Amino acid sequence: QVQLVESGGGLVQAGGSLRLSCAASGRTFSDYAMGWFRQAPGKEREFVARITRVAWSGASTYYADSVKGRFTISRDNAKNTVYLQMNSLKPEDTAVYYCAAGSTRGYNVLVVTSTEYDYWGQGTQVTVSS
């Protein structure tokens, strides 16, 4: 079992920044690829970003087109934490953000469906005002 706890959400004006954190406990954090998803009211949960397990060349990242160039995912295996730095926020970024851990294809970046992740946090609300 892996327990995930997100933090760092809040209310921010358009153009502002937030950094989300997701602290993991339980099984070995480094064994998992990590992802961020979000769900806006009345919409389906959607993929935001992914970071793979750390290989000899480092970890690879992948982003949804809607956040590419504005969001950055990173991980600190020593702290069992994954981060999502969100810059240039837009009102359409408003959602509940969830982090997820997945053991499937851990070194592959193209794992963007929620069903391929094994463990989920409870979510943190991000609200961007115009």
Indicate the pLDDT class of residue 57, thresholds 50, 70 and 90. Answer: confident
Phi first, then psi: give them for residue 91, nearest 5 degrees: -55, -30
Say which DSSP state 27 is in. Answer: S
Instruction: Decide: helix, strand or coil at residue 14.
Output: coil
What's the mean pLDDT in 50-65? 93
Instruction: Decide: helix, strand or coil at residue 126.
Output: strand
Among 82-91, 110-119, 121-130, name the one with the lowest average pLDDT.
110-119
Proportion of the chain above pLDDT 70, given as a percent: 100
pLDDT digits (tens, 9 = 90+) for 5-14: 999 999 999 9
Indicate the pLDDT class of residue 102, thresholds 50, 70 and 90. Answer: very high
Indicate the pLDDT class of residue 107, thresholds 50, 70 and 90. Answer: confident
Query: Cα–Cα distance between 106 and 48 in angstroms, integer?
Result: 17
